[in-house]
Structure 1
């Protein structure tokens, strides 16, 4: 799957958060996609996803990684662009919930 782009959403608790959009086979014919909100952990130098809507398991689903039990919601109907809009509109709440649930 090819990453189309990543862009800065803003900062939460001093940490920059990004949204990344990937599609396959291409932007004109989207069969599979992944849209994720993430930050880069300065301690581990790894990308940490906090929310993701994708088609990785044959159906569109919402990985609610910000919750403690990280449920996978399969009762969703998003296009790649709807997923991007939804995550962009709600990323601050997801970042806040992730920080509460995954504090070290």
Structure 2
């Protein structure tokens, strides 16, 4: 049995150089220890650990000049699993 997908965004050839880093404005809960430096960790209102976000909502670990992650090797698990050009990525871009 095959389920046909409709209204699924088409991959626009998203690469690091064309990415708008929409995912870097989402709340990121830290549920595993990947070595995120303490200066990038905040607590949410329930006491859980989340990535620190700047006043404008951007992740504090993003270099705003290059739009690259400054802690890429130690980035949170969800950031590792968020596939550039995948469904969630395309959904956030719309």
Q: TM-score, length-normalised on structure 2? A: 0.28
Q: Kindly indicate which of the two structures has a greater share of residues assigned to strand.
A: 1
Higher relative contact order (CA 8 A, sep 6+): 2
Which has the higher Rg, Structure 1 or Structure 2? 2
What TM-score comes out, normalization by structure 1 length?
0.26
